[in-house]
Amino acid sequence: MNPLWRRALLRAALVPLVVLAPLVALAPTADHRFNVYWHGGLFRDDPLRIVPHTLDSLPGYLRAGNFRPLGRMLEKLLDLVAYTLGDVFGLPANVAFRLVSFAAAVLLCVLALVFAQSVLTRGRLFREPPSTVAALLPFAAGGGLIAAGKSSPVVLFGGLYLTSAAVVLAVAAAVCRIDPDRRIRLWWVPAVLAAGAVLAVCNEIVYLALPLATVAALARGRWVLGLPPRRLLAAAPARVLALMWLGFLPAFVAARLVIQGYCARGACYKGSDVAAGPAVLEAFPVRLVSWFPALMWQTAARGRGWLGGVVLILALLVLVVLVVQAIRDLPGLSTVDRPAAAALAVSAAALVALGAGLGSLSIDVQDIVAAGRWGQAWRDSAVTMPAGALLLAGLAHLVRPRPVVLAGLVLLLAGTASVSAAANKRFRDKVAATPAARLDDRLAQSVAEFDPTPAGAARRCALRAEFFAMFAGTPFSLRRFDQSFNRAAQQRAGVPFCPGVTGTEQGR
């Protein structure tokens, strides 16, 4: 691998870690107050049980309005990884869970870089130096990872949705790297059809992989490789995409028809329901720009006095080392001509629009927009954040910037990433100040340092009593508490979480 590639990939891995570091001890919220303990306790001793457990639950989820078996398997696997990290290294679940989501963020930023170069590079991908886009993109993509509200993928289901967005970019990058003159062998057909079907049974984020791959492959073929339209539509990438769509559409349409039947009777979970109507047209333009860091900072940091402090200074000190490295590498990076920059910009704009369209169909997002919270993130932000970074990098190269301009853009984007780190620190501080977060932290510590003695049981029962008093009006949370924490206690030490109270609440 070219040394310039190694350094570019290193920057793509380190920048998101700097931006997300203030969130490392952020308390879990919503379902993840329970899921790490529930899934960890269920599957720690038998990880393969994830498969039948997920398949058994499919009818219930279909009735609730979603069909994503592979996505749920991935979610359970990531929860298991977090639980196992806590078990092996004695980490509280909130820290282990954040480390898993940080790894997913690193994967996403690395694949954003790989995707950009897959569109731009005409020859062998890793043998040639990367383009000057590689100097900008790590800072742009990492700087977009902002905890803009409790529904942000940086906060909630981070491992799942950031990994899903990475899959979207990986599929598109793989299709772009297919040689247009390559023969499609007959034995490839079943595998490619199956790959398309697999994308239809992951989750709504992964649904965007084929549309993005289609736009990116066509844009690259026309503007980077210079293929005429007739040859472009008959080239190997187009044939592979046609087969993948043939595998994807039957599985996707069949699942949506079944779900539509359930949702028509009003049985769907609100977060999964699709709501078409005038609200979509109102939400769509807002979601097109909701990824912009300045908007997300306002949601994450609300109030005054947050732009400063030790975190901002430390982030700047770390990032300035990477900035110096990136600027030194600029002379050795390949240039990007206007047609290639246009191909990247069009591909990125398509992904922004796809993510915005996905979000706009959600009732939750429509409510967010109606409330005027333009910068609040939702699961669509898992794709619009890196897509926005790709769009900025592509647009910057449409004007063929001089090296000094590129160096200035690197500095500007690094400064943006530092501000994002400060905004994340402010968000974490606000959450940590709530009684619920402080209780979640103590619960995580009680599981990490599990004490099976009567004294330990008494402390856990006191924590349970505190939780039940705090959430007395939400029976679902109370039921899930006993189910999840007791499962983890049984797995850790073979005892109930609170003896005499939760011992019979085993769950499936």
pLDDT of 197 > 70? The answer is: yes
Which sign, positive or negative, has the C-alpha torsion 403, 421, 394, 219?
Answer: positive
Stretch 244-263: mean pLDDT: 86
User: Which residue pairs from 454-460 have beta carbons closer than 8 angstroms and sit at least 24 positions apart in sequence?
Assistant: 457/495, 457/498, 457/499, 460/485, 460/489, 460/497, 460/498
Q: What pLDDT was estimated at residue 362?
A: 87
Q: What pLDDT was estimated at residue 397?
A: 92
pLDDT of 261 > 50? The answer is: yes
Q: What pLDDT was estimated at residue 126?
A: 87
Q: What pLDDT was estimated at residue 61?
A: 77
pLDDT of 65 > 80? The answer is: no
Instruction: Provide the residue ranges of all domains of the chain, joining segments of one domain with +.
Output: 3-432, 450-493
Evaluate whether 65 touches 268 at the Cβ level (below 8 Å): yes
Q: 266 pLDDT band (50/70/90 cuts)?
A: low
Smallest Cα–Cα separation from 124: which of 80, 188, 179?
179
- For 1-21, how does the pLDDT look when each residue is reduced to its tens digit (9 = 90+)? 789 999 999 999 999 999 999
- For 471-490, how does the pLDDT look when each residue is reduced to its tens digit (9 = 90+)? 998 999 999 999 999 999 99
Q: Is 476 left (phi over 0), alpha (psi -120 to 50) or beta?
A: alpha
- For 148-169, how does the pLDDT look when each residue is reduced to its tens digit (9 = 90+)? 988 999 998 889 999 999 999 9
pLDDT above 70 coverage of the chain, percent:
96
3-state SS, residue 54: helix
Q: In this structure, what DSSP letter does residue 365 have?
A: H
pLDDT of 247 > 70? The answer is: yes
Evaluate whether 88 touches 102 at the Cβ level (below 8 Å): no
3-state SS, residue 157: coil
Q: How far apart are CA 221 and CA 119, in angstroms?
A: 9
Q: What is the pTM for the complete model shown?
A: 0.93
Stretch 168-187: mean pLDDT: 92
Q: 269 pLDDT band (50/70/90 cuts)?
A: low
- For 332-384, how does the pLDDT look when each residue is reduced to its tens digit (9 = 90+)? 999 999 999 999 999 999 999 999 999 998 888 998 998 888 899 999 999 99
Which sign, positive or negative, has the C-alpha torsion 475, 477, 481, 487?
Answer: positive
pLDDT of 505 > 80? The answer is: no
Q: In this structure, what DSSP letter does residue 362 have?
A: B
Q: How far apart are CA 163 and CA 155, in angstroms?
A: 14
Q: What pLDDT was estimated at residue 279?
A: 86
Q: What pLDDT was estimated at residue 270?
A: 61
pLDDT of 298 > 80? The answer is: yes
**Mean pLDDT, rounded, of the chain:** 90
pLDDT of 508 > 50? The answer is: no
Q: How far apart are CA 371 and CA 504, in angstroms?
A: 44
Strand partners, 274: 362
pLDDT of 504 > 80? The answer is: no
pLDDT of 502 > 70? The answer is: no
Q: What pLDDT was estimated at residue 507?
A: 44
Q: What pLDDT was estimated at residue 307?
A: 73
- Tell me the two tokens of residue 12: 């793509």
Q: What pLDDT was estimated at residue 267?
A: 62
Q: 506 pLDDT band (50/70/90 cuts)?
A: very low
Stretch 58-84: mean pLDDT: 87
Q: How far apart are CA 408 and CA 348, in angstroms?
A: 22
Stretch 277-301: mean pLDDT: 91
Q: In whole angstroms, how far apart are CA 42 and each of 82, 119, 225, 319, 430?
A: 13, 42, 51, 41, 32
Q: What pLDDT was estimated at residue 58?
A: 82
Q: What pLDDT was estimated at residue 17?
A: 96
Which residue type is seen at 177?
R
Evaluate whether 200 touches 254 at the Cβ level (below 8 Å): no
